[in-house]
Structure 1
Amino acid sequence: MPGTPKDKAAQKADPAEGAPPSPRRRQARGERRISQLLAAAAGVFCRTGYAAASTNAIAREAGVSPGTLYQFFPNKEAIAVELGGQLLQRAHEMHGQAFLPENLHRPLPELLDAVLDPVIAFNCENPAFWALMHGSGVPGITQEHEELHSSLLTRVEGVLRGFAPEATPAELTHTSNMILGIFKASLDLILAHEGAERAAYTAELKTVLLRYLEPMATTAPPR
């Protein structure tokens, strides 16, 4: 008996096994593969550094063939640019959360907690960020990292201006650069340790910055 129009519609909606996947399914599968390759690259970059990493090592880490990797990325630099771009976007979002206006009016010890804790947590959860920003030398990443640094410097200067409204722009810049220098040097130690040791170095960083900034905070007029 011939099929009804409803039966024919059902057959079209349920294609025979072996039919090519829809564009949407192919796109979703491609996005999963890209995420898999970027996660693998993050692990390789952290262990070996960017310079020593290779596309073969990244493919091996992802459990795919080099040919599969080249379907999505032409070379190691393209992988680094994509991964670095995603991490930089997350870093910008994290800085926005750390420097919320309500955080900036807290007492200095609480302010340090509010700003430093999410920044440190982000770097600990994304060690590839540190490896790429400070060791890759990829032009695109380097430029974007410089822009991130400039943005962070401006945020820190804004916080200091609240503590020391009488400070000159040069003084604010010098102090902000010193704060970022102390933070970066300390972050090397923090990332190199785990557990109680990591917590101890984090506490030491906060103590150093507190002692450095306390004179400025106590001599500034009330906000």
Structure 2
Amino acid sequence: MPDNQDDSPAKEQPRRRQARGERRMTQLLEAAASVFTTTGYTAASTNAIAREAGVSPGTLYQFFPNKEAIAIELGDRLMHEMRDTYGEALAPIDPATPLEEAVGAAVDRFTDFNTQHPVFFALMHGPDIPGRITEEHDALHATLAGRVEALLSALLPDASAADLARTAQVCLGLYKAGLELILAHEGAEREAYTQELKNVLFRYLEPLVGHRMARTTRPTKTRTP
């Protein structure tokens, strides 16, 4: 019987071309992320992206017809990764977890993603969001708001749906404002702004949650007779 020819040179060449194409696309997307973060989407150009990637504009156009197509592909990949981050950051909370710890852990996960991918904020919150990214971002925001409401409903079982929705939107608004400040700083100042955001969210939620999730478990003082 003839040997299996699946790994023949003729079939290996398309695989190599595909792998090279994927590497080139990744290179272009990384360059675009750098340019969009530095200049913003509106001011960016395909020529600038090609220069950043170290390729000719003609090479770029083999993969993307314009900068909007680049932004859409980049946004799609980032939103897929962000959904995974949401799932981890907004997992159900153990009732024994102090509120301050729960808030801090969620903020850390979200800010870690955004500091590693600053282009996400540049694309999603810039003045000119490209193409269908607007609709996809709105859907992602709605999903996030729903997850926050679900978490709050466990902490505030007597709250109405309207109250939960309002509280979730305030939390998201505070987070977005804090994130903009965090991304504008580096090093110790970034850490300080991150802590300030945690403090603001905790102090907003603590009176609502009450003693269901205390800041810490404090020993009960005994009175002497």
Fold shared, TM-score > 0.5 on shorter chain: yes
Alpha-carbon displacement from aligned partner over 1:121-149 (angstroms, at most 9, x marks no partner)? 00000001001111142231111100110
Match of 2:129 among 137, 145, 158: 137
Structure 2 residue aligned with 1:176: 168
Structure 1 segments (4+ residues) deviating >2 Å: 12-15, 101-105, 219-222
2:99 equivalent to 1:116: no
Alpha-carbon displacement from aligned partner over 1:48-69 (angstroms, at most 9, x marks no partner)? 0000000000000000000000
Match of 2:205 among 196, 210, 213: 213
Structure 2 residue aligned with 1:201: 193
Write the mapping of 1:21-170 to structure 2, written as runs, cut at 5 A.
Answer: 22-102=13-93, 106-135=97-126, 136-170=128-162
* Conserved? CA contact 1:104–1:159, under 8 Å: no
RMSD: 2.4
Find the structure with the greater CA-based Rg: 1
Structure having the larger proportion of residues in helix: 1
SS of residue paired to 1:50: coil
Q: How far did residue 164 of structure 1 move?
A: 1.1
Partners of 2:64 and 2:149 in 1: how far apart?
39
Q: How far did residue 213 of structure 1 move?
A: 0.6
Partners of 1:103 and 1:126 in 2: how far apart?
29
Q: Higher relative CO (CA 8 A, sep ≥ 6), structure 1 or 2?
A: 2
Partners of 1:36 and 1:220 in 2: how far apart?
49
Partners of 1:83 and 1:106 in 2: how far apart?
36
Alpha-carbon displacement from aligned partner over 1:68-99 (angstroms, at most 9, x marks no partner)? 00000000000000000000000000100111
Q: How far did residue 163 of structure 1 move?
A: 1.4
